[in-house]
Amino acid sequence: MSSTTDKLKGLANEAVGNVKQAAGKVTGNDSLMAEGKAQELKGEAQRTVGEAKDGVASVVDKVTGKH
């Protein structure tokens, strides 16, 4: 998966997770709130992976002189 794909999927999971948490809070559904939090955390991890890939690519470009 490309860094951009990781970041976009991460942002999408964070957004959906936040919506689920809000819906769970409004309806008093603790299970939905927990599911939303888990999805938000998954999204944060995906986004971090994408950002790390960008960082590694930048370092490789500098080392190889492709900046």
Identity of residue 40:
E
- CA 12/CA 3 separation, integer angstroms: 14
Number of structural domains (the chain) is: 1
* Distance in angstroms (rounded) separating the CA atoms of residues 61 and 31: 45
What is the tens place of the pLDDT at every residue in 8-26? 999 999 999 999 999 999 9
**Residue (of 21, 6, 17) closest to 51 by Cα position:** 6
Full-model pTM: 0.80
Residue ranges making up the domain that contains 37:
3-64
Q: Which amino acid is at 27?
A: T
For residues 54 and 30, which has the higher predicted lDDT (pLDDT)?
Answer: 30
Residue from 26, 48, 50, 47 nearest 36 by CA: 26
